[in-house]
Amino acid sequence: MFSDIALILGTTLMYSTPLIFTALGGVISEKSGVVNIGLEGMMTIGAFIGATVGYFTGNPWIALLAAGSAAMVLALFHAIASIHFAADQVISGMAINFLGPGISIFLCRIFFDGTTMSLSIPLDQKIPRPLNGFFAQNSFFDLIFNQYATVYLAFVLMAIIWFVLYKTRLGLRMQAVGEHPKAADSLGISVYKIRYIAVLCSGFLAGIGGASMALSVVSNFRPTLISGQGFIALAAIIFGKWKPQGATLACLLFGGAQAFVIFLGNPQVGVNISSQLLAMIPYILTILILMGFVGRTNAPAAVGVPFEKH
């Protein structure tokens, strides 16, 4: 029983990590007033670049940075459209969601001899586990805490982003731009500059989120690797009330749902439920949470509203 609980908790941490990176990016973007619906596409391009660079270089950290940089390029397109040209932010984000998978599959066919799946990264070239061997093998604490380094990096980033948003001048300006951009502009704050920084950071983190799927949870890229995680991250942002700590807790909840699905899907558990029905649980949970919390939370006042300097 205790080993089952430990396994579920460990799996929760592993599957929550890509969501945490992505949701933190979404929090930064929306705090500045820009809706980033394109997180799914940015995660996808991050997963592909991470898997590809990881395979060819053998260095997961270079792969992680490359993935974040690639997703940042997509985020730049979103920023130019929604900030500079005042385009509809939802439509721009949805375009990114089409571009990300399309570019990924196109490049995958080029790099991997016409296939839509990258070759597997060797186990010793995946993201390392810093606590491997620290606890007795397969013990309660080993099953929970023997995680990939990206798990711990996600929580460190959550603390850093909280500090930046609430304790630094940049973070306070970002919130001011997201709440009342005209007032911020009248005080000499560059609304465009702050929003560009926020959207680019959002893309970078979403790319790392996608890469953490390809470099730790699995060991390659495939078209179905990112299947709704970007939208689940968006739900986590709302559920977490646009706060980094709240979004992280929401991601842990969604990751727990995925861990529970994996646990129930184990034939040794003896639960005779269709795998298709089990796979629906995280998405049903997302819908139920949105139904219960939309309208009860207060988004940044100017989120989704283009700013035009006169």
Domain spans, the chain: 2-293
Distance CA 233, CA 221 (A): 20
Q: What's the half-sphere exposure (Cβ side, CA atoms, 13 Å) at 85?
A: 11
Q: Rounded to two decimals, what is the model's pTM?
A: 0.94
> Residue 123, class by beta-carbon neighbours within 10 Å (0-12 exposed, 13-18 middle, 19+ buried)?
exposed
Helix axis angle for 244-264 and 149-167, nearest 10°, is 160
pLDDT computed for residue 93 by the predictor: 96
Q: pLDDT tens, 207-236?
A: 999 999 999 989 999 999 998 899 999 999
Distance CA 125, CA 274 (A): 35
Q: Which two tokens stand for residue 122?
A: 């060797």
Distance CA 116, CA 292 (A): 38
- Whether residue 203 is predicted with pLDDT greater than 70 in this model: the reply is yes
> Residue 190, class by beta-carbon neighbours within 10 Å (0-12 exposed, 13-18 middle, 19+ buried)?
middle
Residue written as token pair 């986590």: 236
According to DSSP, residue 119 is labeled: P
- Whether residue 191 is predicted with pLDDT greater than 70 in this model: the reply is yes
| 70: nearest Cα among 90, 94, 54, 86 | 54
> Residue 69, class by beta-carbon neighbours within 10 Å (0-12 exposed, 13-18 middle, 19+ buried)?
middle
Higher confidence at residue 56 or residue 291? 56
Q: pLDDT tens, 158-174?
A: 999 999 999 999 999 99
pLDDT computed for residue 267 by the predictor: 63
pLDDT computed for residue 39 by the predictor: 97
Angle at 216 between CA 215 and CA 220, to 5 degrees: 45
Distance CA 112, CA 107 (A): 8
Angle at 172 between CA 289 and CA 81, to 5 degrees: 70
The CATH architecture of the domain made up of 2-293 is Orthogonal Bundle (1.10)
**Mean pLDDT calculated for residue range 181-200:** 95
Q: Which two tokens stand for residue 211?
A: 């890469």
pLDDT computed for residue 297 by the predictor: 66
- Mean residue pLDDT across the chain: 91
280: which residues sit within 8 A by CB, 6+ positions away? none
Are 206 and 37 in contact by the 8 Å Cβ rule? The answer is: no
